[in-house]
Amino acid sequence: MSKDGWRGRVGLLDVEQDIADGAVVVCVRGEVDSGTVQSLTAALDGAFTAAVDAPSRVLIVDLGGVTYFGSAGLNAVVGCFERGVADGVEVRVVADNAEVLRPIEVTKLDSVLRPFKSIVDALAPRDAR
């Protein structure tokens, strides 16, 4: 984690914030449900504020380490994504695990969130994707 990084742990959820190639990256591990979503929301709010000030105006939300992704977590990520659309911050979701992809696909949000398979993919310039 860089000196600009942030780390928070509450119960079954671990969230870290860092900077990679000018983008703000939030890595989430553990269970995201109604009992932990406030921690995720607080982390996303802080990261969003940092992304507004970042030159790239990109926020990457890495959900690859999430072992349970309830509707509360999905709502938090969608809310962050919508805020990004409104405020000119590109929010990119990273997930390659069924625990996260399945709820996104079932709700038809995969066409909106368009999850990336890795942070490297999410960091790639727009024309390289």
Give CA–CA dist 24/21, Å, rounded: 8
Confidence (pLDDT) at 12? 85
Instruction: Residue 8: count other Cβ atoms within 10 Å of its Cβ.
Output: 14
pLDDT score, position 125: 78
Report the pLDDT value the prediction gives residue 79, as an integer from 0 to 100: 98
**Residue 18 falls inside a structural domain:** yes
**Interval 52-80 mean pLDDT:** 96
Nearest Cα to 52, choosing from 96, 83, 73? 83
CATH number at residue 32: 3.30.750.24
125 domain-assigned: no
Question: What is the model's pLDDT at position 126?
Answer: 65
**Is 76 a member of any domain?**
yes
- What are φ and ψ of residue 94, in 5° steps? -115, 125
**Kind plus residue range of the DSSP H or E element containing 10:** strand 6-10
**Per the domain annotation, does 126 fall within a domain?**
no
- Is residue 40 one of the residues assigned to a domain? yes
**How many CA atoms within 13 Å lie on the side-chain side of 102?**
8
- What is the domain range of residue 58? 6-119
Give the C-alpha separation, 119 to 123, whole Å: 6
* CA-based nearest residue to 31, from 79, 77, 80, 70: 70
What is the tens place of the pLDDT at every residue in 115-125? 999 999 999 97
Percent share of the chain, pLDDT over 70: 88
pLDDT of residue 64: 97
Q: What phi and psi values does residue 68 have, to the nearest 5 degrees?
A: -150, 135
Give the model's confidence band at 2: pLDDT under 50 very low, under 70 low, under 90 confident, else very high: very low
Q: How many domains does the chain have?
A: 1
CB 113, CB 78: distance < 8 Å: yes
Summarised one tens digit per residue, pLDDT across range 31-46 is 999 999 999 999 999 9
8-26 pLDDT, tens per residue? 544 689 999 999 999 999 9
Domain-located, residue 1 = no
Residue at 124 is within a domain: no
- Asked whether the beta carbons of 83 and 50 are under 8 A apart, the reply is no
Is 57 contained in some domain?
yes
